[in-house]
Structure 1
Amino acid sequence: MSKVNLKQEESLSIKFNHQMSAGEQRTIDLFFYLPKEMGIASNTLNEEEYYHFGVVGRRSYYSHGLHLPLVQSRFVSLKNRSLEEFRLYLNLFAYQFAVAIETDAKELRQLTAPEEFYPALNDLSDVVIQLLKKFRRNEPKEEKWRSYFAHADNYLSWFCEQQLLKTLSQRPRSSGFSDIKDKVIQLCRAEHHYREEERKYNSSRTHHDANRISNKMLLLRRLIQQGVVLKEELKVLGVGLKKMVTGFATGLVMIVVSALIIKAHGVFNGLTISLIISLSVIYAFREIFKEDIRNALWRKIQRGRPRWSRILRDTSTQTIVARQLVWLEFMRKQDIPETITEIMKHRHRQNKVESEVLHYRVNTRVTPKDFSAGYSEIQEQVNFSLVPFARHLERGKAKIYSETDGKVSNESVERRYQVNLVLKVKDGKHQAEYARFKVTMNRSSIVEITESKLPDNIAALT
C-alpha cells in the first residue's frame, strides 16, 4: 500500500489520504497543471477563497485493519479497561467502521456496468453483516457502558442502511441480479426493525420525521467522533505583514499624490475650477492605483510563504498531536522545481500545452510523544473540489457525423480537458518520491484518473 493514496472521491472531486506515526515529519506537494484554455488563473480563481470552500480536510486517529478499524482481540479486551478507555476505543471502532463503509459505497456507486456493480454490492452487504455482528457480539453488560454502546449501535445501523439504500437508488438498470437487490433490501429492513422494534432506540415521532432522525444521527456522529477526530485550530499567517504592506503602499502613493498636488498649485494660481478638477483627478487615480500597488507588493512578498498554520489537538486531553503549515498559490514558471519540470517534459507531444500551475503544499510535524489510549497513527484525508474549475469550462457543442447506407446521422460529443497532477512526498530527510496522474474531466464530472510512468532517474512513490 502506498504511503499516500490519491483517488476520485465524488463526480467532481479528488482525495488524498495518508497516515503518520508519532515523531514523523512529512511534506506533501500537489502541482495542478491547468491548461490555459480552461481559463483558470490567479485573476479568475482566488486561492484563499478556493482553500476555504474547495479544500476540505479530515484528521483523526487511525488504526490498521481490513475494514475493521480495530482488531477484534483489542475490542474484546475492553472489559478490562476503564470507562474512558472503553469510550475512546468504542468511538474509534465506530468512527472508522462508518468511514470504511462510506468509502466503499462511494467507490461502488462509480461503477456503471451491472456485471461489476452487483457482485461488488453483494460483497459490501456481506461486509456490513459481518461487521455489525462482530460489533454487537461485544455489547457490554455493565449499565454505565451500555449507553455509549447504544449510541454507536444506533448510528451504525442507520448509517449502513442509508448507504445501502443510496447505492441501490443509483444502481445501473439491469433485468438480472434481482436476488442481490432483494438481499440488500432485506438487510435494510432487518436493520430498520432492529433499531425501531427490537431496541427501540428512537421514538415513533423521531423515526417518522426525516428532519428529526437526520438531526439526531448528526448528533450521534459528533458523539462518536469525540476523542477520535482531532480538533483543528487554523491561523492565517502574515496578517501583520499584510498591514505593513498596506501602509507602505499607501505611503508610496501619497508621496506621488503630494508631489502632484504641489505641482498643481504651482501651475494654477489660487483656487480655480481647473485646480479643483486637477485635484479630483489626482485623488481618483490615488484610489485606483493604491489597491493595485498594494496587491502587487503583497503577491510578491507572499510568494513562496505558507498561507496558514494549523494545530491538531486531542479533543479529550487537549494535548497537541501535530502542527501543520499550508501553502496554496499559482506558481510562476521559473519557480517550479526542476524535478517537476523534468517529469512534465515526458508527456506526449500532443499533451504539451501551456498551463497555469496551482501548487498545494502541507508540511506536517507529529509530536514525538505517544498518542493517548494506545492509538498508533493519525490519518489525514483532504478533498479537492474541482467544481470551481468546471465553472470555467465550455459545454460540448460539437457534433460528429457518420454515414450508413446513404443515411447521415450525427452524435453530440462532450468537450474534455486533461489536468496533469504531480504528487511529491518527502519524509523527513529521506529522498523525495513522486507520482504523476492524468485527470480527464468535463464540465459535469471526472471521466477518469490514470497514473503515468515517471522518468527512470526519478524515484517513484512507494
Structure 2
Amino acid sequence: MINVDRKNSFQLRLTRRLKEETSHNLDVYLFVPGELGLSTQLISEEAFYHAAIHVSRTYYSDEYLLPLVHSRLASRNRLGSDSYRLSLSLYAYQYVEAMERTTQTMLVSANKLRHARQELREENSEIQESAVALCDQLHEMIDLSDGILKRLRRNQPDDESFKKYFANIDNYLSWFTEQQLLALVAHMPRGGEFTDIRRRFISVCHREDEHRSEQKYNAERVRADPTRMSNKMRLLRRLIEYPITLKQQSLELGSGEQRAVKALATAVVMGFVTLGVLQLRSALGDLSALFVLAMALLYAMREVFKDDLRNTLWRWLRKGRPKWRRQYLDPTQNAVVGRQLEWFDYKRFASLDNAIKQMRRRKVAQREEVVLHYRSSSRMSPTRFLSGYEHTRETLNLDISMLARLMSKGKHHIYRLKDGQAVREGVERRHLFNLVIRETGSEDTPYLARWKVVVSRSGIVDVEKVEENSAAKENT
C-alpha cells in the first residue's frame, strides 16, 4: 500500500511500508502536460534525479506500542542504550508522521468547508454533514494525541543518561503538538459546532506550554525568540530521526564504462582520420594549400563524429540498465542492511506497459504528455536489522519546483454572477499532472494506483487518488 500526499508547496511525499520480503520493486510514472515544453535538452535526466528525487528509509513497527515497551525495558537496564534511543525515537517519529498527515488532511477539509460557507449564505445539509464529520475527526485526533503523550510520560527513566534523551524527545513532541493544534485553530471555521473543539485545542496548547515551563526544557531567551525556538526544535527533530533512519551511500554506475566508451569512440574516429590522411597524402602528394584545407576538414569531421559516436554508444550500452546504486546501513552498527538499484529516464507513451497505459486512460487531449519514469529495485536483509524490528518504511519526496518554473506567469480574470451582480475574479492557471505508481514485492499482489495532482506556478494545489487495482484485477 502506498500513500501520496502534499508535503509542502512543491513536494509530493510517497510513503510505503516494506514487509518481510527481501525484494521490492517500485515504478513511479509522472505524466507532465506537453504544453510545458519539458525535454531532455531543457532538464536532463541526471539533473532532475539529483534535484527532485530524495529517498530515505526508517525502521518501522506496525505494533505501535512495541517501541515504547522496548524503551521501558531499556530504561530498566534490560536492553542497551542504543536500543533505548532507537525505540523511543521510533515511537516519537511514528507519532509525528501520523500527526503531520492527519493535520494536513484536516486543514484541507477545513479550508474547503470555509470556502463552501463563504459561497453559500445558507448552509445546506451537505455542508452541515461535512462540518459535523470534521468536528468528530478533530475530537478523535485530540483524544489519540493525549493518549500517546500520556503513555510516553507515564514512565520516565531513572538513569541520568536516559533522562536527557527523554527530555529532548518530550520537549519536541510537546512543542510539535502545540504547533499542529494552533495551525488547525487558525484555519478552523468560526463559531457553531467548532466552538467547543477550538476551546479544547487552546486548552491543550496552554497545558503543553506549561508542561515545558515546569520541566525547564527551554531557556527564557529561547522561549522569547521564535527563531531560536524553531531552530532548536529543528535540531531536536533531527535527533529523533537519526537513530531510526538508515544511512545511505550512493554511487553512480557506469563511470568505468563511460571512460571505455570514450576511448573506443576516439580510437575508431582516429583510425578513420589516419586512413584519410594517408589517402590524401597519396592523392595530393607534397604539402600544399589544398592538403592543409583537406586536413582541416578531416579534423573538423573528427570532432563532430567523435562526440556523436560516443553518445550513441553510451546510450546503447546503458539502455535499460540501472544508473545509480544506493546502499543502506544500520545507523548504530554500520552494518549493510540492504542495497537498491535505481533508474530514471524519459519515456514515450507507446513504450509503456499495457497496465500503465490502461491505468492512465489517456485521451486525445493528453497525447503530447511527457512521461518521467523512476524505478527502484531493492533487496533488504531483515536479519541484520536491530533486534526486534523486521520492517522498514520508505519515504520518497518528489520535488516538482523545476517543473513549476516552466509554467507561465501571471493571472487572468473571469466574470460570474453573484447575488445578481457581475463579479470580476482573478484566477491562476493550473495544470493537471497524473501520477501512476506500481509496487511489487512488498504486498501479496502487485499494487497499481493513479493520482491526479493539480499544480500552479505557486505550488501544488490538490492531490487526489482516483483509481487503484491489483494484478488480480488486471488479469480478469
Measure how far apart 1:183 and its partner are: 3.5
2:211 is the counterpart of 1:194: yes
Match of 1:359 among 373, 393, 397: 373
In 2, Cα distance between the equivalents of 1:300 and 1:229? Answer: 37
Q: Is the 8 A contact 2:445 2:470 kept in 1?
A: no
Corresponding residue for residue 86 of structure 1: 84
Select the residue among 126, 137, 147 that pairs with 1:130: 147
**Aligned partner letter, 1:135:** L
Q: Cα offset for 1:360? A: 0.8
* Per-residue CA distance 1:36-67 (angstroms, 9 max, x = gap): 222112222222222222112221000125xx
The alpha-carbon distance between structure 1 residues 86 and 431, as it changes in their structure 2 partners (threshold 3 A), is: closer
Structure 1 residue 33: deviation in Å?
2.1
1:369 is paired with a residue of what secondary structure?
A: helix
Return 158-167 or 33-42, whichever deviates more: 158-167
Greater helix fraction, Structure 1 or Structure 2: 2
CA distance in 2, matches of 1:314, 1:413: 49
TM-score (norm 2): 0.81
Percent identity among equivalent residues? 33
Q: Give the distance between the partners of 1:382 and 1:352, measured in 2 at CA.
A: 26
Q: What code does the residue aligned with 1:27 have?
A: N
* Structure 2 match to 1:8: 6
Whether 1:242 and 2:258 are equivalent positions in the alignment is yes
Map 1:349-428; keep pairs closer than 5 Å: 349=363, 351-369=365-383, 371-395=385-409, 399-401=413-415, 410-427=424-441
Q: 1:319 aligns with which of 303, 313, 335?
A: 335
Q: Which consecutive residues of structure 2, in runs of 5 or more, have no partner in the other structure?
A: 115-130
* Distance in 2 (alpha carbons) for counterparts of 1:173 and 1:378: 38
Deviation at 1:385, TM superposition (A): 1.5
Letter in 2 for 1:198: E
Deviations 1:195-217 (A, max 9, x none): 2x311123334444445444433
Deviation at 1:380, TM superposition (A): 0.4
Residue identity matched to 2:233: M
Distance in 2 (CA, whole Å) between partners of 1:457 and 1:376 is: 26
Using the TM superposition, give the Cα deviation of residue 73 of structure 1 relative to its aligned residue in structure 2, in angstroms: 5.2
Indicate which of 108, 127, 130 corresponds to 2:106: 108
**Per the alignment, in what secondary structure is the counterpart of residue 315 of structure 2?**
helix
What CA distance in whole angstroms lies between the structure 1 residues aligned with 2:306 and 2:227? 51
Per-residue deviation, 1:235? 1.1
The one-letter code sitting in structure 2 at the alignment partner of 1:341 is K
**Counterpart in the other structure of 1:301:** 317
CA distance in 2, matches of 1:246, 1:133: 64
Contact 1:226–1:316, Cα closer than 8 Å, also in 2: no
Contact 1:62 1:69 in 2 (8 A): no
**Secondary structure at the residue paired with 1:201?**
coil
Name 1:434's counterpart in structure 2: 448
User: Relative to structure 1, is the Cα distance of residues 311 and 407 closer, same or farther in structure 2, using a 3 angstrom cutoff?
Assistant: closer
What is the aligned partner in structure 1 of residue 169 from structure 2?
152
Please say if residues 309 and 326 of structure 1, whose CA atoms lie closer than 8 Å, have aligned partners that are also in contact: yes
2:125 alignment partner in structure 1? none
- In structure 2, how many angstroms separate the alpha carbons of the residues matched to 1:105 and 1:405? 35
Paired letter, 2:79: S
- How far 1:180 moved relative to its partner? 3.7
- Alignment CA distance shift 1:207-1:411 (3 Å): closer
Q: TM-score, normalised to structure 1's length?
A: 0.83
Runs of at least 5 residues in structure 1 that lack an aligned partner in the other structure? none
**Residues 275-331 of structure 1, C-alpha deviations (whole Å, 9 max, x = no match):** 767766765665555444433432333221111111111111122222111111112
Amino acid at match of 1:150: A
Using a 3 Å threshold, how does the CA distance of structure 1 residues 351 and 119 change in structure 2: closer, same or farther?
farther
**Cα separation, 1, equivalents of 2:85 and 2:470:** 50
Q: Contact 1:423/1:434 (CA < 8 Å) preserved in 2?
A: yes
CA 1:280–1:319: 2 relative to 1, 3 Å: same
Kept in 1: contact 2:447–2:470 (CA 8 A): no
Contact 1:117–1:172, Cα closer than 8 Å, also in 2: no
Partner SS state of residue 394, structure 1: coil
The corresponding residue for 2:54 is 56
Worse overlay, 147-156 or 247-256? 247-256
Q: Secondary structure at 2:473's aligned position in 1?
A: coil
Change (3 A) 1:282 1:191: farther
Check whether the contact 1:69–1:96 (CA below 8 A) recurs between aligned residues: no
Alignment of 1:202-351 (within 5 A): 202-255=218-271, 258=274, 286-287=302-303, 290-333=306-349, 335-344=351-360, 346-347=361-362, 349=363, 351=365
Distance, in Å, in 2 between the alignment partners of 1:161 and 1:209 is 16
- Answering whether residue 473 of structure 2 is matched by residue 459 of structure 1, we say yes
SS in 2 for 1:392: coil
Q: 1 CA distance for matches of 2:424 and 2:5?
A: 35
CA deviation after TM superposition for structure 1 residue 357, in Å: 1.5
Q: Deviations over 1:226-261 (max 9, x none)?
A: 431111111111111122222233334444555666
Corresponding pairs, count: 453
Structure 1 vs Structure 2 CA RMSD? 3.6
Are positions 1:21 and 2:19 aligned together? yes
